[in-house]
Amino acid sequence: MSGIIDSFIPVAIFLVFGFVMPVATMIIVKQISPRSQAGRKLSTYESGSVPFGDARIMFNVQYYLFAIVFVIFDVEVMFLYPWVTVYLGVDKFFTTMSVIEVVLFVLVLFVGYLYALKKGALQWVK
């Protein structure tokens, strides 16, 4: 039993450092950072020009839809690559079943893609 617990000690140390180090870094930065909040320091940097207007404006970002679709299909490729390298050619029945499973997986993603096209989620200008 102690052998199993001993094997988790490096994981526990990693988790402790993973939580302690960022918190300690934030505390240290908070302690050593300057506290001057002058109005000039809080203004927007305009490359040496006198700042005008407000830097916090709303603007339309249209790339996010394409980014979402890219991430979805990128994750699909991430799931397909191990399937090809591990399962292909192991056993005839197993290979056939895994091919059917992957075809269903790709079909579900394709239906989602068609739904996004139908709803107009991929149109640049609405």
- Contacts of residue 30, defined as CB under 8 A and 6 or more positions apart, other chains included, come to none
The whole-number pLDDT of residue 25 equals 96
Per-residue b or e along 46-83, where b marks 16 or more CB atoms closer than 10 Å to that residue's CB: eeeeeeeeeeeeeeeeeeeeeeebeeeeeebeeeeeee
Domain coordinates of the chain in residue numbers? 2-33, 63-119
State how far the Cα of 3 lies from the Cα of 37, in Å rounded to an integer. Answer: 55
Q: What is the pLDDT of residues 1-48, one digit of tens each?
A: 577 788 889 999 999 999 999 999 999 999 998 777 676 666 666 777
The whole-number pLDDT of residue 29 equals 93
The whole-number pLDDT of residue 71 equals 84
The whole-number pLDDT of residue 122 equals 73
Phi-psi region of 119 (alpha: psi -120 to 50; beta: other; left: phi over 0): alpha
Q: Give the mean pLDDT of the chain.
A: 80
Q: Which of 52-61, 66-75, 100-109 has the lowest mean pLDDT?
A: 52-61
Spatial CA neighbour of 74 closest among 109, 119, 124: 109
